[in-house]
A and B are shown apart, each in its own frame.
Chain A
Amino acid sequence: MRRDRSRLAAILPGLWLAAFFAFPFVLVLKLSLSDTALSVPPYTPQIDWSRLNAFIAGLDVETYARLVADRLYLDAWVSSLRIAGTATLLLLLIGYPMAYGIARCAPPARHALVMAVVLPFWTSFLIRIYAWIAILKPAGLLNAALAKLGLPAVNLLNTEAAVILGLVYAYLPFMVLPLYAVLERQDGRLVEAARDLGSPPFRAFWTVTFPLSLPGVAAGALLCFIPMAGEFVVPDLLGGSETLMLGRVIWTEFFANRDWPAASAVAVALLATLLAPILLFERQQAKVLR
């Protein structure tokens, strides 16, 4: 009886998400299969549920054919995955020692440090990326500092390196937190046992601590990789016109070219690419919460 009542709580949020999260994907898919037209909104058919057959007959893959034919889209796809993948690896390399270090501290310091890692996440993403423009631009703070040290200037703004730097910077809290959650819960006696049995510290870490922390590694990597692959703000502000990423292509097709079907088709391609990681992430989360 009591169970039945709490089940009712699912109705409102379920309907909300079905209407505003799941259903709109159908529209994206549909539009990606429509013709471009110069009107407002700039595409031909509206949905007409009563004539389903005509609707299906009207679908065409012209937009997709266009995307496959144009190298730009393939390049953007490849570089999205390359950039997000590189950033994820760097995040692991930076985030793991941080999470490990924090988990090693005494509890009061630990809480303050977790807080310190999370705090930048609460301040605007846009502003944090904007802060890097002032640092990286040719006449920026980095080059001013390098000049003082007598070193040659570097031109980082509007390069792929700047995009990766910005992604690492913006997503670091999302990497540290899941890693910390796993490392903090780990039983310290396991490492002690390995040490007592004569294992050197690094080996104890590599054979005991690290394998046990793999769920955290997977959670952090997925939590960062998936949104980074579709990121818009970072490549747009730090990447210049050279850096192609799918999120940015969707934005440009939509706002600059007003080609809604193309924007939708790229969105479908991005979503299809991320489907497997998203499903993995869901399984992971379900496991953690059980």
Chain B
Amino acid sequence: MRPSVFSLSAVSLGLAFLYGPIVLLILYSFNDSRLVTVWSGFSLRWYRALLQDRQMLDAVWTTARVGVLSATLSTILGTLAAVALVRAGRFRGRTGLAGMIYATLVMPEVILGLSLLLLFVAVDVARGFWTVTLAHTTLTLAYATVVVQARLSGFDRSLEEAAQDLGAPPWRAFLTVTLPNIAPAVAAAWILAFTLSLDDLVIASFTSGPGATTLPMRLYSQVRLGVNPEINAISTLLIGLVTTGVIAAWLVQRRRRA
């Protein structure tokens, strides 16, 4: 099966479409001029401006905390859900659980955000760091489940059964045999959950309160004012960070498989 000229050009055009805008964005973060269309020389001034932007740095810190906490919670819950869905066969509530998980994947964020906000208002909790974290855990739980589920359903169960036959209690067989085997998927689920949390504007806007402005919320209020090279600078840093992380995770997973 050799790729034809048609498929090669479809793939390369598609990738050019995907990467073109990102490359331009990165390029113009090093532009000395404030104008997008005028290139007036290489400069790091927007990065320097960024370092002095107290509000932006606060937002980065908030986002990082929300991301780490919600990703950890949702990975734990998602792994549990995956275990139940793959292992437990048919049980009462399975359809409900699976239904809620797949519905989260496609649910428009505006609806999720609004409904969670109403919940927080109904139980009368102050909105802020914790409510965003809870909301993000709910959003990313479904993605974490799907990632772990894919790996778990390919895992040979007889290994765990062997451990149990040798006298290990089920929880111990799971922790010492199964978990190390699905660890790359659990790590991938965590990274995915973290990235989604890092990325979310809509749900955070609904569920956050004063003092817990996340980075996308901050970026959004800046973007509304127009194109600003400082946003290009922080975007470039984010893209660099995420790209490095994802490629590293991919290489680790590949080496394991090989």
- A interface, CB within 8 angstroms of B: 2-3, 5-10, 12-14, 16-18, 20-25, 27-28, 31, 41, 46-47, 94-95, 97-98, 100-102, 104-105, 111, 113, 115-120, 122-128, 130-135, 137, 139-141, 143-144, 169, 172-173, 176, 188, 222-223, 226-227, 229-233, 237, 246-247, 250-251, 254-255, 260, 263-264, 267, 270-271, 274, 277-278, 281-282, 285-286, 289
Contacts and interface: CB of A to CB of B under 8 A. Distances in A.
A47 B122 CA distance: 7
B166 interface: no
B138 A17 contact: yes
Given A14-B97, A274-B108, A24 B119 contact: yes
Interface string B237-252: 0110011001100100
Main secondary structure of the interface of B (DSSP, over half): helix
Contacts of A7: 84, 88, 91
Interface of B: 1-4, 6-8, 10-11, 14-15, 17-19, 21-22, 24-25, 28, 35-37, 77-78, 80-81, 83-85, 87-89, 91, 93-94, 96-112, 114-116, 118-119, 121-122, 134-135, 137-138, 141, 145, 149, 153, 164, 170-171, 195, 198-199, 201-202, 205-206, 216, 219-220, 223, 227, 231, 235, 238-239, 242-243, 246-247, 250, 254
Contacts of A18: 100
A186 B165 CA distance: 39
B248 to A, nearest CB: 12
A134 B227 contact: yes
Nearest to A140: B36
A122, A125, A286: residue with the most chain B Cβ atoms closer than 10 Å: A122
A209 B94 CA distance: 34
Given A13-B80, A13-B97, A139-B37, A271 B21 contact: no
Contact of B22 (A24, A123, A286): A123
A9 B36 contact: no
18 contacts: A6-B83, A7-B88, A13-B97, A17-B101, A21-B112, A28-B114, A28-B115, A102-B11, A124-B242, A125-B199, A131-B21, A131-B235, A137-B227, A188-B1, A232-B108, A246-B110, A270-B110, A282-B99
B243 A123 contact: yes
Given A94-B14, A124-B199, A226-B108, A141 B81 contact: no
A232 B77 contact: no
